[in-house]
Amino acid sequence: MSTRTAIARNLRKLGLSAIVDSSAVRSLARAPQRSVKPASDTDAGDNVADVGPLLTVVVPAYNVEQYLSQCLDSILSQSYTNLDVLIVNDGSTDGTASLCDQYASKHKRVRVIHKTNAGLGAARNTGLSYSSSEFITFVDSDDVVPPGAYERAMNSLSNSGSDVCIAAVSRFDSRNKWKPFWVDLAHDEDRYGISGSEFPPIMWDVFAWNKVYRRDTWDRLVGNFPEGTLYEDQECTAKLFVGDAKLDVLRAVGYNWRLRDDNTSITQQKTSIDDLRQRLDVALSVLQIVDQSNEDYRGYWFTKTLGEDLYYYIREVPRASDEFHELLSTNMLELWKQAPESSLKGIEPTRRILAYTAAHCSRSELVRLLVHLERTQNAYQGFLDNGHPVFRILDFDQTEFQLPESLREVATDFLKPRLEITSYLSDTDGDVTLRGYGFIPNYDIDYGYSADLFDGTTDSIVATLVIGTESGAVPPQLSDTYHSYSDRRFVLRIPHSIIDDVANQMNSTQSGNLQLRIHLHVGQHSWTVDRVRRDIHSSAGYPGASHITKRGSRVAFYGDPRQGTDIIVLRPRLFASAIVLDRKQLRVDLKSFSAQSSFRHGVDGFYPDSKFYLTVSKVERELARSEFTYRDGVASATLVVPENQFDESKSVDRLHLHVVDQTGKRWAIAIDREQATRDRDSNLAVATTGYGYAVIDRPIQAATASSLSLSPSGRTMIAAGTYVLDPTVARTVTPTFALVGSSRVVHPIRTEISHSERTFKAEFPLTLLNTDGYDSPLEPDRYILQLLLASGKAHPAAAWVTTSYKLEDGLPEHRLTPLHSVTLSAVGTSRSLRIDLSEPLSARTEAGKFNQTANATVFLSPTRTISPSTILFESFAGAAVADSPLALDREIALKYPDAVRLWTVKHPLTPVPSGAEPVVFGSQKWYDAVSSAKILINNNNFPHFFRKRSDQFYVQTWHGTPLKRIGNHVPPKSLSLSYRDLMTKEAERYWDLMIAQSPWAAETLRDAFNFEGHVLDLGYPRNDVLANPDQLDVLRHEARLRLGLNPDQRVILYAPTWRDNLKERSGHYSSVDFLNVNKAAQSLGTDTIILYRGHSNSLSATPKKFNRQVIDVSRYPDINFLIAASDTLVTDYSSIMFDYVVTGKPIVFVCPDLEEYRDSVRGFYFDFEATAPGPVVKSSKAAIDLLKSARVFSVDTTERYLKFRELYAGHDDGYSSTRVVQELAQLFQN
C-alpha cells in the first residue's frame, strides 16, 4: 500500500472522506479524480432496510459498454442491500464512461471513479484506495453476480468468523452455461474456517472476483494487486491461501464468469507471447509464495501448473512463433526439474506426456504429438505392468512418443469406468436380468465385476448381487484407436429371493431408493460405479415394474436413466389375478396377498362388513364405480368405463383405477405386464404405470408398431402394427404414416389398412429418386416413425408411434443391409420407434475407430502390391461423383477402355460412370482399393493414415480456384492442427501432379500447400462441358428436365459460401441466406425460380423452409448441372465464380459482411471489390432490385468481366481433360 493510500484510508476512518475526495487534495496528491454525480432516490436498494456491515463492490470497467448494464443490474438487485458499488472506469474509449455516470446518477449506492488507463490491477487498487468498508469484493464488468450471492457470503462470514468466503463459479456465453471442471474439485462440499494449506484443491480457485474478504485480512496478507501485468489475481489469492486466512468454501454458485464469443478478453489470447511471458512471471512469483507452504500444497501446485495452467499454452505452440515455443519450453524445463516426481505422476497421462515433450523435446516433436492426440481424441494404449496400470502412446506408424519409464504409471484416480446397462428382462418368477458393458477407457483388459444394492440413507449394502461376464459386441462408436473393448460385457441378476427379502423388512408398501452399484476389479485395484446409467434407447431405458413374485413383491426403477439406476422394492397391497376389458366393460378380480385379506378378515381398521369399490377416475375426479362382490376367495367388480371423458389434445389419454373403501381411502391395483398392452386396436386398453399399477389408456389418435422388417436388398422397410383414430376428433379414420428425419420426411410407397381389425402395414422406401433419375440411399439420419394427424384442432400435427412390449424387448437392434447400417431403438418415456441409418459398414469389421485404424494398417504393409491397370477416383471423400475427377474419368474411359476404374462413394447405389465400380468409403474394399490402385485422382484429400507407395501416382485436382485464403495462408486459429498437418504431409510427400485452372491459380495453390512438384495449369477438366456451347445447351436441357423446370423459366442460382464465424447453438455452421431467397422469389414473380445451393460445410444446419419458387439443391451432386440450368448466378465469395465466368452468364455478388469477412474472417488473395466479375451489393434489397432489371440477364461483356475470365479461366476451352490425360499417357503404357 502506498503512503498516500494509507493516509487516505486513515482520514476516511476518521470520517473525513469529503476532504480526501476534494478536487484540490486529489490534484495535489496526483490521484484519479472522482466523478461527482447528484444522488438519486431511484435506487431500489435504498427502499430495503440495510442489514449487516457495508460491503464495497469494486467494478473495474474498460470498454465494456456491451456488458456493463447486465453486470451492474445483477449487483444492484442483490438481496444483500448494504452495498457500496464502486465503478472504476479505466480510461474507456467507448460508451462505458457515460454509462457509468448514468448508473451513478440513478443509484445512491453507485460511485464512479474516472482514471486514465493503467490495467486491471491498477483499477482494482484504485477501488481499494476509495474504500474504507469492513468487507470488500471485486467483479469484472463483463460478468454477472447471481441472485443471493452476497447475502449467502456475508451470512457465512458472520456465522463462521472466517476471513474470506469463496463461492463456486459458473461459466457462460451467448449460447450455453456450464460449470468448469475444477469447481467439483474445489467446491465439492461446504467447508468453513479452513486454511488453504490444509486443502490444496482450493488453489484451483485463483480468482479475485468470486470472493468476499474482510478488509483487514486483505490488507495484512495481500495489500495491493500487482500492476501492469495479467493474472494479477493469482499472487494475491496465493498469499491468502498460504497465509493464515480462514476460508469458507461454498458449494453454491456465487459468480457467473463470461466467455466472450469474440475472444476479445485479454486472457483468452493464448498465442500471445506477452501473455505467456506474464503468465510465467506470475507462476514464478507464486512459486516463491507456495514454497513457504507444506509439501502436499507445494506438490499440488506443480501438478496444477504443469498439467493445467501451462497446458493451454502448450496446445498453441503450432500456431505461435518460435520465440513463444522457446520461452515456454525453457521455463517448463526449469519447473519440471523442481517438481517432485509424485507431482509429475499426478498429472493426467496425456497432459503429462505433453508437458514432458514441451520441456524436453523439439518443437516438431511436440507438434507431432499434439496432432496425434487431436486425431485420437487423447486416447492412449493402456496395459498392466506387474498388476499396475501404465500407458504409452504410439502414432499410426507405431513410433512411440518418449516418456521416462518411471512416469508411465497411471494413478487409479485417472481411470474412470464407462459402464451402461443396455438390456432389461423380468422372468415370470420375478427375477430381473440386466445386461450391459463395462470397461475403463484406454484399458482393454479382463475385468472382474461385482454388484450390490446400496441404501444411501443408512450407508449400508442391502444385498449382494450375482454378476458375471458374457461375450458379445460393444457398440463400435465406443472404440478408440487402440482398443475395441469387444466382449467387455456383463450380465447381472436380481433374483426374486433378494426382492422378497428386502420387501419383508419393509414397514410400508414401498422401499426407499436403493442404488444399483457395479464394481470393476483389476488385480488389486477396484472401481465403484454408484451411478450406473441405462441406455435410454433400449429396453433398460424406461422399463416397467418386474413381475410380481410368488410372495407378492417386485422392483421398479426410479429417476433419470442417464443419471443412474435407483431401484425401488414394492409390495403392492392389491394384485389383480385377472383384469379383462371387453370393449367398455371392465372386470377386475383380486386374489389375496397380504392386504387383500382385508376384504374378508379385516385389517388396517377395516372389518368384514366393510364395502369396497372399483373406481375409474381422471385426475382426482371419479367417473365410475362398482362394488366388489366375494366368491370362493376372489373379490370381483365389473363396471363400464366411460370412453367419452378424454382430452382430445392428447394422443393417448389415461384413466386411473383404484379400490376405494367407505371412508374414501384408496389403493392402486398391481398387475403384471402380460395383463397390459400397448396395442392400439381398441378405444380402451389396460396399461400400467412405471410402478406396475393398472390404468386404462384411452387412445385418441395413436399407433403402435409391433414389427419391423427390412427387405434383403435394403431398399424398403415394412412397419406393421395397430392404430386408433377417434372419428369424433380425427378428420379421417384412415391413418397416414411417415418417417420424419431432421431434413427429410419419407412417405410410404404403399400402406395396407384394415379398418375392422385396426391394423396397418406401411412399406417405406429407404432410397429416393434423385434429380439424376437414379435411386440413392436415404442419407444418414435419425428417423422417427410418426402417425400424421390432420391439423386445425387442439391435437398436435403428429403422434410418435410407440413400440409394442414384444418389439421393445429386442431393442436396440442392429442390422446391416447392402445400403445402410440400421439401428432400431425405442426412445423417450413413450418408447417410440426410431430408425437410425448410417453408412453400410460392418460393426464387427469396419465401423468405429478401432476397426478403421486396424484396416488402415494395409498402408503400412510391406507386401502390398499395386494393380497397374487400376485407377481410383474420389471427390470429397465419396460425397459426390463429380468435379474434375469425373471429367477425367470420361476421358480415360474413352482413351483407355481396358483400365479398371473405381469410384469412392458413400453409398453403394451412388451412380458411377458406365464401366466403373463403386467402393464404399471406409469399407475394407475401399482400403484395399486406395492402397493398391496405380493412379489416384482426388479433388480433396485422403484420411491422415493414407500412405502412398513410390510406384503409385497421385493426381490432385483440387476443387476450385481460391478467392479465400487456403492451406498455409489461412490464419493458424482457423484450421485444426490435424487438417493442416494432413494437407502439408500430402502435398509435400504424396502429390505427384496438381491441376490448376490458370497460371495464377497454379502459383497460389503451390504456395498455399508448399507443393514443389509439377502443376499443370492448362484449365479445369470439370469446366470442359461449360466451355463447349453445344454440350452446355444439351446439359441445360437435361438439367432443367431433371429439376422440373420449363425451358423458358428464368432460373437464378444462389450459391453462397459458408462462414467460419457463423454457427448454430448445436455447433454446426449456419446456413447462409443474405439474399433472402423467399423474399427474392416473391418479388421476382412466378416466372422466376431460385436454386438454393448451400455449402457442404453447412449441410448439418437447421433445414430452411423455402416457398414453392425456391428449390433446395444443396445436396445435388454435380454443380455443373446447376450452372447449366441457371441464367444468373448470385453468390458472395464462393469459388464458383471462377467456373461460372466460363459460361459468359452474369453474376451478382451479395456481400453485406464484406469488410468483416475480408479483414477478420478469412481474407482474400486479391482486391475482390475491384476485380469481381459483376456488381457487388450490400443488401438483399439491392440485389433484388438489380435482378429485376433486364440488363442483369444479358451477357455481361464489361471489361472487368472479360479481364477476370481471361486471367482466371483463360485456359478453359473445353479440352483440359484431354491435356491432363495426355500428361498421364506414360502411366498407361507401363
Q: How many domains does the chain have?
A: 7
The Cβ of residue 520 has, within 10 Å, a number of other Cβ atoms equal to: 23
Cell of 952: 503409385
Whether 692 is covered by a domain: the verdict is no
Regarding whether 232 and 91 lie in a shared domain, the answer is: yes
* pLDDT above 60 (res 22): no
Regarding whether 822 and 784 lie in a shared domain, the answer is: yes
Given a contact cutoff of 8 angstroms between Cβ atoms, the answer to whether 1104 and 1078 are in contact is no
Regarding whether 423 and 496 lie in a shared domain, the answer is: yes
Confidence tier at 37 by pLDDT (50, 70, 90): very low
Confidence tier at 970 by pLDDT (50, 70, 90): confident
Whether 552 is covered by a domain: the verdict is yes
Given a contact cutoff of 8 angstroms between Cβ atoms, the answer to whether 1097 and 1058 are in contact is yes
Given a contact cutoff of 8 angstroms between Cβ atoms, the answer to whether 651 and 702 are in contact is yes
Mean pLDDT of 116-121: 95
DSSP three-state, residue 309? helix
Residue 144 DSSP class: B
Regarding whether 1006 and 916 lie in a shared domain, the answer is: yes
305, HSE (Cβ side, Cα atoms, 13 Å): 28
- Mean pLDDT, rounded, of the chain: 91
**Residue 1188 vs residue 125, higher pLDDT:** 125
Confidence tier at 48 by pLDDT (50, 70, 90): very low
Q: Angle CA(149)–CA(152)–CA(158) in degrees, nearest 5?
A: 140
d(CA 783, CA 719): 13
* pLDDT above 80 (res 267): no
Burial environment of residue 529 by CB neighbours within 10 A (0 to 12, 13 to 18, 19 or more): buried
The reported pLDDT for the residue numbered 772 is: 62
The reported pLDDT for the residue numbered 15 is: 47
Residue 532 DSSP class: -
Mean pLDDT of 953-970: 92
For 469-499, how does the pLDDT look when each residue is reduced to its tens digit (9 = 90+)?
999 889 999 999 999 999 999 999 999 999 9
Burial environment of residue 935 by CB neighbours within 10 A (0 to 12, 13 to 18, 19 or more): buried
The reported pLDDT for the residue numbered 41 is: 40
Confidence tier at 269 by pLDDT (50, 70, 90): low
Given a contact cutoff of 8 angstroms between Cβ atoms, the answer to whether 1058 and 1114 are in contact is no
Regarding whether 1057 and 1163 lie in a shared domain, the answer is: yes
The reported pLDDT for the residue numbered 153 is: 98
Structural domain harbouring 664: 576-681
For 307-366, how does the pLDDT look when each residue is reduced to its tens digit (9 = 90+)?
999 999 999 999 999 999 999 999 999 999 999 999 999 999 999 999 999 999 999 999
CATH number for position 1171: 3.40.50.12580
* pLDDT above 80 (res 608): no
Regarding whether 128 and 257 lie in a shared domain, the answer is: yes
What CA–CA distances, in Å, run from 541 to 503, 512, 651? Answer: 24, 21, 22
Burial environment of residue 173 by CB neighbours within 10 A (0 to 12, 13 to 18, 19 or more): exposed
d(CA 869, CA 933): 8
Please confirm whether the linkage preceding 812 is cis (ω < 30° from 0): yes
CATH number for position 677: 2.60.40
Mean pLDDT of 1074-1084: 93
* pLDDT above 80 (res 833): yes
Given a contact cutoff of 8 angstroms between Cβ atoms, the answer to whether 729 and 701 are in contact is yes
d(CA 112, CA 106): 12
Whether 386 is covered by a domain: the verdict is yes
Phi, psi dihedrals of residue 1118, rounded to the nearest 5°: -115, 110
What CA–CA distances, in Å, run from 87 to 71, 233, 845? Answer: 11, 18, 64
Pairing of strands 585-591, 576-582: antiparallel
CATH number for position 94: 3.90.550.10
Domain end residue (candidates: 380, 406, 432)? 406
pTM summary value: 0.86
Regarding whether 1072 and 926 lie in a shared domain, the answer is: no
Regarding whether 729 and 867 lie in a shared domain, the answer is: no
Confidence tier at 1190 by pLDDT (50, 70, 90): low
Radius of gyration of the chain (CA): 36
Whether 691 is covered by a domain: the verdict is no
DSSP three-state, residue 430? coil
Whether 452 is covered by a domain: the verdict is yes
Given a contact cutoff of 8 angstroms between Cβ atoms, the answer to whether 1033 and 1143 are in contact is no
Residues 6+ apart with CB under 8 A from 273: 320, 321, 323, 324, 327
- In 1097-1221, where do the E strands start and end? 1110-1112, 1128-1131, 1147-1150, 1176-1177
CATH number for position 917: 3.40.50.11820
The reported pLDDT for the residue numbered 646 is: 81
Q: In 698-822, which residue ranges form alpha helices assigned H by DSSP?
A: 805-809
Q: Which amino acid is at 1103?
A: P
Whether 977 is covered by a domain: the verdict is no
Of 468, 462, 463, 460, the C-alpha closest to 433 is 468
What CA–CA distances, in Å, run from 782 to 647, 740, 776, 824, 1061? Answer: 30, 8, 17, 10, 27
The reported pLDDT for the residue numbered 33 is: 47
The reported pLDDT for the residue numbered 270 is: 72
Regarding whether 79 and 218 lie in a shared domain, the answer is: yes
Confidence tier at 648 by pLDDT (50, 70, 90): confident
What CA–CA distances, in Å, run from 290 to 239, 294, 302, 347, 529? Answer: 8, 8, 10, 18, 36
Residues 6+ apart with CB under 8 A from 193: 160, 161, 162, 246, 247, 248
The reported pLDDT for the residue numbered 1105 is: 85
Confidence tier at 606 by pLDDT (50, 70, 90): very low
* pLDDT above 70 (res 460): yes
For 392-401, how does the pLDDT look when each residue is reduced to its tens digit (9 = 90+)?
999 999 999 9
The reported pLDDT for the residue numbered 69 is: 97
Regarding whether 475 and 600 lie in a shared domain, the answer is: no
Domain end residue (candidates: 538, 570, 602)? 570
The reported pLDDT for the residue numbered 796 is: 64
Whether 639 is covered by a domain: the verdict is yes
Domain end residue (candidates: 387, 406, 425)? 406
Mean pLDDT of 1021-1029: 95
Q: Which of 70-84, 578-592, 756-770 has the highest mean pLDDT?
A: 70-84
Regarding whether 309 and 237 lie in a shared domain, the answer is: no
The reported pLDDT for the residue numbered 264 is: 55
Given a contact cutoff of 8 angstroms between Cβ atoms, the answer to whether 167 and 80 are in contact is no
- In 148-190, where do the E strands start and end? 164-172, 177-178
* pLDDT above 80 (res 1192): no
The reported pLDDT for the residue numbered 21 is: 52
Mean pLDDT of 588-599: 61
The percentage of the chain sitting over the pLDDT mark of 90, rounded to a whole number, equals: 79
Given a contact cutoff of 8 angstroms between Cβ atoms, the answer to whether 624 and 665 are in contact is no
The reported pLDDT for the residue numbered 206 is: 95
* pLDDT above 60 (res 8): no
The reported pLDDT for the residue numbered 39 is: 38
Mean pLDDT of 70-86: 97
The reported pLDDT for the residue numbered 602 is: 42
* pLDDT above 60 (res 421): yes
Cell of 1125: 440450368
Confidence tier at 793 by pLDDT (50, 70, 90): low
What CA–CA distances, in Å, run from 867 to 588, 917, 936? Answer: 76, 15, 12
d(CA 802, CA 516): 28
Regarding whether 532 and 419 lie in a shared domain, the answer is: yes
Whether 491 is covered by a domain: the verdict is yes
d(CA 78, CA 58): 15
Pairing of strands 1128-1131, 666-667: unpaired
How close are the terminal C-alpha atoms of the chain, in Å? 84
The reported pLDDT for the residue numbered 1117 is: 80
d(CA 240, CA 227): 18
What CA–CA distances, in Å, run from 416 to 441, 529, 562? Answer: 7, 9, 16
Cell of 354: 505433453
